[in-house]
Structures are given as C-alpha cells and as structure tokens.
Structure 1
C-alpha cells in the first residue's frame, strides 16, 4: 500500500476544513473534506491511484469511473496506473444531467455494455452520489463489481452499498483524522 500517512497529511494540509457546511447529501457538518484538493495535486493523485490499484486487486474489472467531477481525476490516475501494469482498462465519466444535445447520454467514455466496472469516489458520506453513478452505469448495461472511496465519513455509505450487495473499499476513514462520526 502506498504511503497512507503521507496521504493523510495531504488531506490535513489541503482538504480538511472546519466550520459549518452543507454536504451533497443535504446533511449539516462541522467539517468538510474537499477531495479534489488532493486528487488534483500530483503527489495526492499518485498516492490515491496506487492505493486504489492495490485496494481493488481482488476484483477483475474492465473499466473504472464515477460521477463527474469528483471521480474524474481519480479515473485518469487509475488509467495511468493500469497502463503501467499492462492492464487493458478503460475509463468513463457519469454526468449528473444529460448534456441536452447530441446523444443526450449520461455515460461518457469507451465503456461498453457488459463490462465489469468499479465506481470510484473521493469522499463517501451517505453513498448517494456513488449510488446514482451505479444506477446510471447499470442502466447503460454494465455490471458494477465494487465501489471505492478515498475517505469514508462513516455516515451510512457502507450500509447503503451493502444493502445493494456492492463490495465497498476505502483507503481511509474519518477516524484516521481523529474525528468521530456523528451518532444518530
């Protein structure tokens, strides 16, 4: 596994903010993890991509993708790692809304129906964004074999994935930053 200590440091330095925030799930939070501050940083993306490659080595997949914009840099990094490992893997991006012109499709990239795919995400809270990506790529005709996140906030995402029989892997959890998830 790559240097997870260094990855935690990068999240502390670049991505972890304290205050009053509204998350994509609609929940209120006292901290925010802006994963793009790490995945759009050369060292951060390298650590994430190498970490995901090892985290997902138990799975046989043809493609990797997720909800645009959060997954986009991760997909690019993973494709580079796949090329270095001589693995023929393609990437895809899923739009929140169809583009409204041309083909009006939600899924972009060379992915094809029937492929086994992994959905990636930077930060997992309730799993809603990743599950929307799962629904869209399944509607496209692919088989989702796993969901991977960089950091799990431990606020229901893992349970939501388990409910759908989707294996879920993460590099870190919010406890790795000394933060306890809220109890409900």
Structure 2
C-alpha cells in the first residue's frame, strides 16, 4: 500500500465519526473528522510528516507552525523527520490566547520574528483557525509562505487563502475519504 492510501485508511478507520456535529466554523455536519486520532498515532504522524515535507519542498521556509492543539503533533512530526536534513528548522505553536503570566507569549518556540513560516493544521473547513495563526505570526513579523492541512473539508479555505495570497494544499480531501463535500 502506498503512503497516501495508507493515510486514507488510517483516517477512515480512526478519525471519521458519523452523527450530528457542529464544526469550529459553526457549520453543521453529519460527520466529524478528528484527525488528532491519526496525528497522534506513530504511523499517522510519520505519514503526515512525510507528506507535509514533500509539499514544503516547493517553498522557501524557516519554520513550521500553527494553532495549538491541532498543529502540535504535526509540527513535532515534521521537525523530527527533518532533523537530519534541516537541523535548523524551527517549530512554532500559536496559542489561542497570549499567556497571562511570565513573558505573555502568544507564540511558543524559537521565534525571532523574521521567519518564513509554513502554517499547518489537521482539518481545515473555512480556514478561520489557520487565519488566527497567520495573523498572530504576521503580527510577530513573520511571513506566511504556505498553509498545509491534513484534510480540507472543501468549505471555503481555498478561496480565503487565495484572497490572502497564500498557497494552500491538503494531503487529503473529503472525496479521498469517500465523503460528500
């Protein structure tokens, strides 16, 4: 089985749930895809990390990051897999809210503020969560060069990122999982 087919099988087996759900975007859905069930599996993390690195080869970047909690295992997988070839690759995690203590950081990691960043997330619907990370990174002086997701629900993110001038790619779509968009 090739890597993509293996990832599809893992997502269908572990992440897809049927029922009545409200998504982060506020939209209603008859299925929910919890990709953390796959990003937190060793086999899933490896496949996702490898896929993301293939897509990242198309852009010039210094760091990979995204909104905590969905991006955390993806960032970890990518920086671990790239350790031999890109030991300088930085991982950044954007908090939902800046810390109320200590340094009050909104972004965790070795941030200098001039990084070219690839933003990642597990599931993308409208793109709103990724935009929160993008805005925080931009405020910190970073340039977002690409957005990558494990699964695009085909619900407006492509258009949003196109309007923002940011390349957007997904490892999988609903069609790959046999689900209607």
**Same fold, TM-score > 0.5, yes or no:** yes
Are 1:66 and 1:92, in contact at CA under 8 Å, matched by a contact in 2? yes
CA distance in 2 between counterparts of 1:84 and 1:70 reads 25
Partner of 2:6: 6
Are 1:75 and 1:91, in contact at CA under 8 Å, matched by a contact in 2? yes
Where in structure 2 are there 5+ consecutive unaligned residues? Answer: none
2:140 pairs with 1:140: yes
2:60 pairs with 1:60: yes
1:20-41 CA-to-partner distances (Å, cap 9, x unmatched) read 0011111111111101000000
Query: Shift in Å at residue 56 of structure 1?
Result: 1.3
Partner of 1:157: 157
Are 1:82 and 1:88, in contact at CA under 8 Å, matched by a contact in 2? no
Instruction: Indicate the RMSD between aligned Cα atoms, in angstroms.
Output: 1.0
Partner of 1:113: 113
Structure 1 runs of 4+ with >3 Å offset: none
Equivalences, count:
180
Partner of 2:69: 69
- Secondary structure of residue in 2 paired with 1:78: helix
Where in structure 1 are there 5+ consecutive unaligned residues? Answer: none
- Secondary structure of residue in 2 paired with 1:48: helix
- Secondary structure of residue in 1 paired with 2:96: coil
CA distance in 1 between counterparts of 2:64 and 2:17 reads 29
- Secondary structure of residue in 2 paired with 1:83: coil
